[in-house]
Amino acid sequence: MDRMFARDLRERLLTLYVACTVGMLRRVYANNAMLLRRNVWSDSLLADRVARYKAATGARIREWDIGTIGHYAGFHCSWCYSPEGVRFVVVEIPFARFH
């Protein structure tokens, strides 16, 4: 019974798929960034596009890890700012912390 209520207290990193080249966004994801966010590049949904993109460009498609436990990386914005607001945060307040 104790095992049923045991909690795994190990720290885990959040994995987000958020970056690719502009060419890959156009040719593989058809300018649909939500397909990138869903991490479907390895799924059969885009397999043909990925194969054509790799053949045409010679690109190696792979996941990148940025940061580790205790050495975190990245900036988080919850899509709450307008483009002007993002610009203001990045340009005018570069050392501020926004969540």
Summary mean pLDDT of the chain:
77
pTM > 0.85: no
Domain of 21? 13-65+74-92
Give the chain's domain count.
1
The residue whose two tokens read 């010679």 is 58
| Structure confidence at residue 26 (pLDDT) | 93
Task: Indicate the helix (H) or strand (E) that contains 62.
Answer: none
pLDDT over 90 (residue 56) = yes
Average pLDDT over residues 5-23: 74
Angle at 89 between CA 36 and CA 79, to 5 degrees: 35
pLDDT over 60 (residue 17) = yes
Indicate whether 46 belongs to any domain: yes
Indicate whether 35 belongs to any domain: yes
What lies within 8 Å, CB to CB, of 99 at 6+ separation is 76, 78
| Structure confidence at residue 99 (pLDDT) | 44
